[in-house]
Amino acid sequence: MIIHIGASSKMNLTSTQAAAYLDAVRPMVADLVDRNVFVLLPFTSIWVARERLAGSNVRWGAQDVHSQDAGAHTGDISAPMLADLGCTYVEVGHHERRRDYGETDELVAAKVEAVQRSGMTAIVCVGERRKVAMDEVVGELHRQLRLLGSADFRRLIVAYEPAWAIGVGANSAPPTYVGAVHDTIRAQLVEMRAEGRDVPIIYGGSVTMKHASALLAQPGVDGLFVGRMALDPAVFSAIAHTHVERDWSRGG
């Protein structure tokens, strides 16, 4: 399975700033042929990605989407609009949207369907809200994943992002813990359908250069989803270039 290294700028980078950022990132990661690199930008900067990244090995996408393809939804952005901008990926269900806008598992599942209807890959975020016992983590993950049974697993990436590891001042979850949770997610996906064994599962949550290698060394971790640290092109490039001591030819 290929390694996936992604970055979300969150509510950062104006279109002018995004142009400078992408111009810096593109040559830094141009040599990466053994992994999939992508960036998710604010809606207002996606057109810049289409201009600056066309023909490169870096794909681009959005951080959210509306569940409907069109209609009277003032201020919202639909999946067909994102597809028209060349997006490959769309993130849905991030903890911050669940927290700030009350997004439910049902709404997240509807957004996954919308993304996939337009031929893009949905990156669905799951994770526990606070540090709890592993059995509680398993239960919460099950509730978040249960509605994805009808999704197209060929156009799905699961991002494990525990809420307690997100944000300024937070620290990454321990690599062995992440590996154990990823194994749990894998088991739940396979329980839904056999194709679940091929769905990439990536980790996000205060990813830094310090932890990148240990995280990717975990057999169940198929990539990294970088937040604020990726705003520095050199840091994002360094994380994307992380050497992995692992046999990927056997799927991890």
Q: Which residues are catalytic?
A: 94, 161
C-alpha dihedral, 126 to 234 to 231 to 22, nearest 10°: -100
The identity of residue 170, as a single letter, is A
The identity of residue 238, as a single letter, is A
77: left (phi over 0), alpha (psi -120 to 50) or beta: beta
30: left (phi over 0), alpha (psi -120 to 50) or beta: alpha
169: left (phi over 0), alpha (psi -120 to 50) or beta: left
Distances (CA, A) of 239 to 6, 122, 160, 168: 10, 22, 18, 19
CB neighbour class for 144 (10 Å; exposed up to 12, middle 13-18, buried from 19)? buried
Alpha carbons 41 and 160: distance in angstroms, whole number: 19
CB 44 within 8 A of CB 15: yes
Task: Identify the three-state secondary structure at position 231.
Answer: helix
Alpha carbons 76 and 96: distance in angstroms, whole number: 17
